Amino acid sequence: MNATDRTPADLLASALAADPGRPLVTFYDDATGERVELSVATFANWVAKTANLLQGELSAGPGDRVALLLPAHWQTAVWLLACASVGAVADLGGDPAAADVVVSGPDALDAARACRGERIALALRPLGGRFPQAPEGFVDYAVEVPGQGDRFAPFAAVDPEDAALIVAGREFSGAEVVERAVAQAPALELTGPGSRLLSGLSYDTWEGVSAGLYAPLAVGGSVVLCRHLEQLDEEALAQRIESERVTTVRR
């Protein structure tokens, strides 16, 4: 990060300027065998497209609440940074009835229908695949996002002191997200560029979302984000740690 970074979107911009080709998020789903690796540049491209969808097509702006009914997943990480780019409040596991926009995985569609605003559905299929048929009442993210622009500029400046994230019922400003991520990096054994954290934690606590995204991003490191990690035995986990050049583990 740079000393001037005040929001999560700033952290991503600094990472992109420093080394766009390095890995940022490597995702495993041990229930399906999926593995996806995104460089800083590829991740930032997904964020830009998603932010353009959020701002342009869904009319979301600073202060609007986006309920993310999603697991720890690389696409959830994209949505967190897209919300930060727009200035919308990312509410992880939040009440869809109180949200302006809801973004739902396939397991939470019924709950997501309580949202009276825009509803986006993510199939969470390998390589960002679409639903065979879009769920009724929802826009299929995988259909809409490819046509969005590769560069993003917010219509209104994002204030670092405004609310940016709600997790486990607690609200954080963009500046607080950055400050806490930087402060907690040493406890996570993230020492700077080259640090690589394997996280099996869910995104329903600050600890999980910090280890699984914000802290590695803040120090110029990367994350190996694992869903259904409990399905690995210790030998397979050790092999992954070695093959992915992991430097620290949280599970």
pLDDT in tens, 139-181: 999 999 999 999 999 999 999 999 999 999 999 999 999 999 9
Complete domains list, the chain, with CATH: 8-250 (3.40.50.12780)
DSSP code for 162: S
The β-bridge relationship of strands 163-167 and 170-173 is: antiparallel
Q: Does residue 2 have a pLDDT over 90?
A: no
Residues 6+ away with beta carbon under 8 Å from 2: 10, 14
pLDDT band at residue 32 using 50, 70 and 90 as cut-offs: very high
Query: What pLDDT is attached to residue 164?
Result: 98
Query: What pLDDT is attached to residue 128?
Result: 86
| Mean pLDDT of the region 98-104 | 98
